[in-house]
Structure 1
Amino acid sequence: MTTSLWKSRNYRLLFASAAATNIGDGLAAVAVPWLATLLTGDPLLIGLVAAARHLPWFLFALPAGVVTDRYDHRHILIAADTLRVGLVTALVALALLAGPGTGPVLLMAGLTFLLGTAEVLRDNTAQTFLPSVVAKPQLERANGTLWATEQLAGQLLGPPLAGFLIGLAVALPFGIQTGLLVAAIGLTAAMRLGPREGGQAVLPPIAALKEGILWLWRDRELRRLAFLLGGFNFLGYGFWAVFVLYGQRVLRLDAFGYGTLLTAAACGGLAATLIGPWVLRHMAPATAIVTGMAGFTVASATLALGAPLWLVAGVLVLDGFTGMLWNIAQVSYRQRHIPGPLLGRVNSAFRFLGTGPAAFGAFVFGALIALGEGAGAVLLPYGLAALLAAALTLYAAFRLRLE
């Protein structure tokens, strides 16, 4: 099965394009929050920058699904990445020219909002795109291989490289990301696909949107999974939105040390992508999802206690491993379970519920730190995350059933 994947020219191009964008995303994962901390020390404004990146999932996920089902997937990916090239170039200028102050931070929040908007369209299309590139029996392996690339390129290579580059010039990671996006556009443009499955461009936009929402709402278990994912993304994106402050204030890390620490989660995630398809042949999707929830709960509780660096790294490995199992299980389940002509719209409705709350989590976690006092203020959001995640995990363990 692995050999057949690599025999496909389209899959090889998709893989190479994903590798390029993932390295760039890994650079941005460190460079964006680090630049925000150079422009302001206010946790609320830092949380605002992170929230702006994810707010488009709440605002635009649903119409993005209609666009995905109606237009050529390859053209959408190219258009979204072209927009990202322009926006990341603007971040290069901001990093070179701006000094500390509220104005530059708000400008940065605006740019990250637009970046998030492009990513909504790109990410929804990319997940919908894969079943047209590989056969359904290959989805777990194809998803696992692509996520292995994401972990290796975006989280093992990208973050420490960003930390090193920031030491040279804070604008440098953004400049390299721009070049990688241009390469990804060329690779995507080289793909050649046959005709898409019919039936997706029949209804008017509002009716098409309604059809996707109703399909999701009538599927009780998929709807339940979407709400559970929304709860965990509220907590998870909040967790990572202020983790740069945890690294600076609790662990006393510089940019390179912070970027290197982020690779701990990537190590766990990479391990899961390598053995995940085998594990998931022996584990029900619901069990894999509950395992991912439990891993996040343990990680949040450990950070809330102000654990030493070695223990923080250890629980990030655990969270990365269990979280990746969750991702492979739930995305492959959706790709197999949802009818092809509806996949873009149902997937966007799912991610509206599942990813939309992320922006609010990022802002709330920043606000909690801003309202707190002393060194313990950075620990407070992680304690809250652990309590809420434990409750959601128990609910899922008893109620979630995916056939």
Structure 2
Amino acid sequence: MRALASARLGADFTRLWTASAVSNIGDGVTMAAGPLLIASISDNPALIAGAVFAQQLPWLLFALISGAYVDRLDRRRLVVVVNLVRAVALAGLTATIATGTVTVLVIYAVLFLLGTGETLADTAMGALLPAVVAAEKLPSANARLYASFTIGNQFVAKPLGAWLFVISAAVPFGLDALTFAVSAALLAGIRAIPVPEQPRPRVSLRKEVAEGVRWLWQHRLLRTLAVSMGLGNIAFGAAFAVFVLYCRERLGLSDVGYGFLLTAFAVGGLLGTAVVTALTRVVGGVAVLRVGLVIEVVTHVSLATTTTPWIAAVVLVVFSIHAMAWGITVTSARQRVVPPRLRGRVGSVYSLLDLGGAALGSLLGGLFATVWGITTPFWIAAVVMAAITVLAWRPLRDVAG
């Protein structure tokens, strides 16, 4: 049924969806194995959190510039080239692990390169989708992409990554390299899509970036959502940057247990993709957004206080239902309202606040855990999210009603 539904969205969407699904499996494997690789070299929370920060730092440094280039270049070709470069980088990391020459600096360098590629490829994919799928079908297309992400990246790949790491530390990263190569081949088969029309004469890169920032800031709905989740992701990133150590020290889980606990994100995410349309229709968008903020507060308090794995798993399932519903709603709205020539830049501004916040949080989380203990980042995140909920409550009513 899923394949038939994807086919109704067109052959190009099927290729894009398949490429995304394949690379999501590889990404999920690396996401699970990466912290385990760092933890096998050092048990320093700051170094482990630093690995997360290394991959997220490019969103702070390059997100806006990447968005401008996405609006200048052929988006399909850009993603193909970036995926091939990421495949080569991961192949190199695999070789160093297999030969016993891997170091923390090597891991950081590869993760930084992967993150740089993400700023281009993820922004381009988000801008490419509206050119492949009709506007009225964007919610369905996004729901399918989010569902495949959840199943592949989290439900399948996370325990698989932890299991493969236990067998051989190099295998998960070699698999990710292969998935990037396959994804590039699939995307190369999508029909050529014209480069967005540019103003003549073309303005400077700085002015192009400023135009995207200005457009987002003047749109009340996207501005409120972007700022709220940018700050929220600082809190989230701080709490989950040391999640592998939290699972070991607080919940007493093994490496494989850590991988299976990560699947709780997938279970909730899959449920979120299934119920988001009906949920929004029944309770309305305002309620979905407001309740989601409350869920974030409860999530951090619960994880800070529990030592029971199954309670943590239930909390993560509920959190992921909210996160998926929020993501699908916001992504579809942004793709519908942003003009084609600005999709890369506006999307990159949103990503800068969203993922850049997570990057800053990852850095802070490692420091907090090192100085004050493994649950401190969760308590701080709870306080931050409570403040965001209070401040955003009325604006969400005004702009989302």
TM-score (norm 2): 0.94
Match of 1:287 in 2: 287
SS at match of 1:294: helix
AA of the residue aligned to 1:396: A
The alpha-carbon deviation at position 359 of structure 1 amounts to 1.4
CA distance in 2, matches of 1:322, 1:24: 24
Contact 2:71 2:196 (C-alpha < 8 Å) held by counterparts = no
- Residue of structure 2 in register with 1:387 after alignment: 383
Counterpart of 1:13?
15
Q: Distance in 2 between matches of 1:173 and 1:72?
A: 31
Residue 93 of structure 2 aligns with which residue?
91
Q: Residues 89 and 44 (structure 1 numbering): CA distance in 2 closer, same or farther, change over 3 Å?
A: same
Residue 390 of structure 2 aligns with an amino acid whose one-letter code is L
Cα separation, 1, equivalents of 2:337 and 2:291:
21
Change (3 A) 1:250 1:174: same
**How much has 1:222 moved relative to structure 2?**
2.0
Distance 1:285 1:117, change over 3 A: farther
Aligned ranges for residues 27-176 of structure 1 at < 5 Å?
A: 27-98=29-100, 104-176=103-175
Partners of 1:111 and 1:197 in 2: CA distance: 31
Q: Which of 266-275 and 208-217 deviates more?
A: 208-217
Give the conservation status (yes or no) of the 8 Å contact 1:27–1:173.
yes
Aligned residue pairs, count: 396
Q: Do the aligned partners of 1:152 and 1:270 also contact (CA within 8 Å) in 2?
A: yes
Contact 2:250 2:307 survives alignment (8 Å)? no
Q: Provide the C-alpha distance between the structure 2 equivalents of 1:94 and 1:393, rounded to a whole number of angstroms.
A: 45
Q: Is the 8 A contact 2:72 2:195 kept in 1?
A: no
The separation in 2 between residues aligned to 1:305 and 1:230, in whole angstroms, is 25
Specify whether residues 357 and 61 from structure 1 end up closer, same or farther in structure 2 by C-alpha distance, changes over 3 A only: same
CA contact (8 A) 1:69 1:200 kept: no
After superposition, what is the alpha-carbon deviation per residue over 1:55-82, rounded to whole angstroms, capped at 9, x for unaligned?
Answer: 1111101011111111111111111111
Q: Percent identity?
A: 33
Name the SS of the counterpart of 2:400 in structure 1: coil
**Does the 8 Å contact 2:59/2:351 carry over to 1?**
yes
1:368/1:99 Cα in 2 relative to 1: closer, same or farther (>3 Å)? farther
Q: Deviations over 1:291-320 (max 9, x none)?
A: 332222211111110331110000000001
SS state at 1:357 partner: helix
CA contact (8 A) 1:13 1:190 kept: yes
C-alpha displacement of 1:9:
0.6
SS at match of 2:248: helix
Q: CA RMSD in A?
A: 1.9
- Alignment correspondent of 2:347: 347
| Unaligned residue ranges in structure 1 (runs of 5+) | none
CA distance in 1, matches of 2:287, 2:334: 16
Does the 8 A contact of 1:159 with 1:260 survive in 2?
yes
1:333 aligns to what?
Answer: 333
Task: Kindly indicate whether residue 208 of structure 2 is the aligned counterpart of residue 180 of structure 1.
Answer: no
Q: CA 1:140 to 1:222, structure 2 compared with 1: closer, same or farther past 3 Å?
A: same
Partner amino acid, structure 2, of 1:77: V
Q: Pick closer, same or farther for the CA change 1:146–1:200 going to 2, 3 Å.
A: farther
- 8 Å CA contact retained: 1:13, 1:187: yes
Q: Distance in 1 between matches of 2:291 and 2:43?
A: 36
State the distance in 2 between where 1:389 and 1:307 align. 22
Aligned to 2:307: 307
State the distance in 1 between where 2:351 and 2:162 align: 31
Partner Cα distance (1:322, 1:4) in 2: 24
In 1, the alpha carbon distance for the partners of 2:376 and 2:40 equals 23
Alpha-carbon distance in structure 1 between the residues aligned to 2:160 and 2:326: 27
AA of the residue aligned to 2:375: L
C-alpha deviation, 1:196, in angstroms: 4.8
Structure 1 residues 297 and 11: alpha-carbon distance in aligned structure 2, compared to 1, 3 A threshold: same
Structure 1 counterpart SS, 2:127: helix
User: How far did 1:394 drift?
Assistant: 2.4
CA offset at residue 212 of structure 1? 1.1
* Aligned residue in 2 for 1:219: 219
Give the match's secondary structure for 1:378: coil
For the 8 Å contact 2:213–2:345, the answer to whether it is kept is yes
